[in-house]
A = this chain, B = another copy of it.
Amino acid sequence: MSNDVSYKDKKVITIGVVSELTGLTDRKIRYYEEKKLIFPERTAGGSRKYSFSDVELLMKIADKMEDGIQTREIRQELVKEQNRATKEELRKKMLQGQINAHFGFRKP
């Protein structure tokens, strides 16, 4: 189905590199996780791993923090965005279902 998202969403970057990439301190990055703004995966040993998408999101977060927006609000915005995205995807799937129902669909 999807394609090159494989890289952008793969969680492979450790916090030190994320810190370099975003200019944020480790402390801030971990704090935003605590506040549910970001969700890294972990290595077997417990080290955090982030994706390029996470890095982009962290930069957006940094901008909003600079604007004086609280993590609470940012979190709400993110949840809303996520809901919009989920709904959109659902809408697409239902439409596809209609199409399949109309034109029929059999395995080859």
Contact = CB atoms under 8 A, between A and B. Distances in A.
A60 interface: no
A12 B20 CA distance: 10
| Interface size range on A against B | 10 to 19
9 contacts: A4-B4, A7-B7, A7-B8, A7-B52, A10-B52, A12-B13, A12-B21, A13-B13, A17-B49
Interface in A6-20: 7-8, 10, 12-14, 16-17, 20
Interface string A35-53: 0000000010000010010
Interface of A: 4, 7-8, 10, 12-14, 16-17, 20-21, 43, 49, 52
